[in-house]
Chains A and B, each alone.
Chain A
């Protein structure tokens, strides 16, 4: 009788070493607890991974990880991967995911908090225009009290991307002709009042 080599093989004791865990157990919970303290992350462990958020997300097609994956990655403590994902920057803050989440996880607000965390830690972003947009927007509001779109665009658009620049100027011209663009910014009257407030909060934020 021929020996059953197949059987013999399976009976052989195979020496295996367990795979290196992606994240050390201790670090894993550190990130989960960090997220639980962020606005929107309070009940992050309530997520039951149903996937409604990913199915309903209108910008899923442009993200590297879907919202459900981001949540799982938070559960697994993958801090670096989450904060350097394109997802947190592609999210359009539309609240569709929150609105349909059966566990009321406020993913949208959490995405804002994650953007804030990534900016604070200066984590490299795949599209550098994103953090630049937020910073410049703040600077302009601080300067005038109101948004001045032409200045925002001029400051953040890449000067080397000529076709895009041309398109924006052309579009700006058509807005101007319809009386829907002001070339000069509007500054609020009591600007000193606003500055006093923002100076105080900026100090607080720096701590």
Chain B
């Protein structure tokens, strides 16, 4: 299985460990990821779109034109990129006036895009193409002692006109994956609530309040860890957890793993290759026990 790979700025910089763990488990599952040569930023949901809609669409159309040359589906690790790329595809398909403008801009750079690239989230590709059965077969250390709270966030499951591989109200893809790895799933309030990623820079107070609700509800439900499928969600829940603890004077201490890291642990891939040392919240005893069993 081979895909064009769109890492996105977050995975490229501030969430390197997500990319590292993704590559490690892809190797173990014989999934080949070919990074798009010279990909550019997608414009991050509405960061560019709210200011310059046409430019933001042309920016992504360039990336999609590059993928089209490669002749493969494109997968991304970031839910925000997943949304932005899919939105561009939809707008170009539905709005011919817009498409003409974008085509003109692309042709000034010698590019063209006919709209035939399928944009997928790496999680979706893993579950639908590789299949839970094959993942199960590859598990070396079943994570039986773990209670995993799956955090879906926003763009993996919403809006429904762009993504339909999971239910927007009761998603289960991450839960199914966690169970395939031998872990138990945890039901909790915050699993589809927004973490406030797009407000991280401009409205930190609001963002901290939003992420706090997710963390506390998972902890109250008895989770030993949370898994995420987006670098922005992970950043808020993990790297900002200390800020949340001190702002609201609560003790949370809940490890947050990229779902790829959890898969890697069950596959007995060395923690270093999964970038576990780059996470902010120190792994708890149960996680360490699995990590050490590999080392």
Binding site of A, secondary structure by majority: helix, strand, loop or mixed? helix
**Stretch among A28-36, A76-84, A92-100 lining the B interface:** A92-100
Q: Of all chain A residues, which has the CB nearest B199? A: A92
B252 at the A interface (CB under 8 A): no
Residues of chain B at interface, number, CB under 8 A: 65
0/1 interface trace, chain B 248-283, chain A, CB 8 Å (1 if under): 000000000000000000000000000001101000
State whether A205 touches B106 (Cβ < 8 A): no
State whether A99 touches B160 (Cβ < 8 A): yes
**Known contacts A92-B196, A94-B158, A188-B40; A193 and B50 CB within 8 A of each other:** no
**Known contacts A141-B43, A149-B13, A189-B38; A178 and B278 CB within 8 A of each other:** yes
A200 at the B interface (CB under 8 A): yes
A169 at the B interface (CB under 8 A): no
Interface residue from A89, A188, A197 paired with B106 (Cβ < 8 Å):
A197
How far is it, in angstroms, between the C-alpha of A61 and the C-alpha of B278 when the chains are bound? 33
State whether A94 touches B101 (Cβ < 8 A): no
**Stretch among A4-12, A43-51, A67-75, A125-133 lining the B interface:** A125-133
Choose among B50, B108, B205 the residue with the greatest number of A CB atoms under 10 Å from its CB. Answer: B50
Q: Of all chain A residues, which has the CB nearest B213? A: A58
How far is it, in angstroms, between the C-alpha of A175 and the C-alpha of B49 when the chains are bound? 28
How far is it, in angstroms, between the C-alpha of A186 and the C-alpha of B35 when the chains are bound? 16
How far is it, in angstroms, between the C-alpha of A197 and the C-alpha of B39 when the chains are bound? 14
State whether A145 touches B154 (Cβ < 8 A): no
State whether A58 touches B14 (Cβ < 8 A): no
0/1 interface trace, chain B 85-115, chain A, CB 8 Å (1 if under): 0000000000000000110111011110000
State whether A93 touches B44 (Cβ < 8 A): no
CB contacts between A and B, total, < 8 Å: 184
0/1 interface trace, chain B 187-201, chain A, CB 8 Å (1 if under): 000001110111101
B216 at the A interface (CB under 8 A): no
Could you tell me which B residues sit within 8 Å of A by CB distance?
9, 12-17, 37-41, 43-55, 58-59, 62, 101-102, 104-106, 108-111, 154-155, 158-160, 168-169, 192-194, 196-199, 201-203, 205-207, 209-210, 213, 239, 243, 277-278, 280
26 A–B contact pairs at CB < 8 A? A58-B213, A62-B205, A62-B209, A92-B197, A94-B154, A94-B158, A95-B155, A95-B159, A96-B193, A98-B158, A99-B159, A115-B50, A134-B50, A137-B44, A141-B59, A145-B41, A147-B44, A149-B14, A181-B13, A188-B39, A189-B37, A192-B109, A197-B59, A197-B105, A197-B108, A201-B55
